[in-house]
């Protein structure tokens, strides 16, 4: 299976696990507000924990999803930041995510990172 044929979960795990500990199972974390937040995965960098939303949609990521991730990261005390992984990124969504400190990664950027590290399509 080529990199382009892999789903976003697989690509995200391949890229993020190069540098970080990845907990790639859905995680439900209770926030200070009492609300439960559903993260698709978590990444640990030393003591810091980052929540990941993965949206494998055929359309661009919505600002609503970026806001939800931001709210989840602010509300969940153990989560220091968020990473949104999606198929299509717009300049508006990129600007919005930078404004709130959310890392925004597209399918193309994940594949590019893997190709630059010389990953074979048979990974």
Give the CATH number of the domain where residue 82 resides: 3.40.1350.10
Question: For the chain, how are helix, strand and coil distributed in percent, rounded to 5?
Answer: 35, 35, 30
Sign of CA dihedral 85, 91, 93, 97: positive
Cα 2 to chain centroid distance, Å, stands at 21
User: Would 121 be classed as within a structural domain?
Assistant: no
Instruction: Tell me the pLDDT band of 19, cut-offs 50, 70 and 90.
Output: very high
Q: Pick the closest to residue 82 from 53, 122, 55, 111 (CA basis).
A: 53
For 65-90, what is each residue's pLDDT tens digit?
999 999 999 999 999 999 999 999 99
- Residue ranges making up the domain that contains 107: 3-115
Any residues with CB less than 8 A from the CB of 90 and at least 6 apart, and which? 60, 61
Number of domains composing the chain: 1
User: Would 90 be classed as within a structural domain?
Assistant: yes
């Amino acid at each position: 299976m080529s990199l382009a044929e892999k789903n976003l979960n697989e690509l995200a795990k391949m890229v993020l696990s190069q540098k970080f500990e990845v907990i790639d199972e859905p995680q439900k974390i209770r926030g200070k507000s009492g609300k439960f937040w559903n993260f698709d995965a978590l990444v640990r960098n030393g003591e810091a924990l980052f929540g990941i939303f993965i949206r494998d949609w055929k359309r661009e990521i919505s600002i609503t999803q970026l806001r939800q991730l931001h709210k989840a990261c602010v509300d969940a005390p153990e989560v220091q930041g968020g990473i949104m992984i999606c198929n299509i990124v717009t300049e508006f969504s990129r600007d919005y995510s930078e404004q709130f400190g959310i890392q925004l990664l597209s399918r193309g950027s994940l594949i590019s990172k893997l190709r630059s590290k010389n990953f074979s399509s048979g990974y």
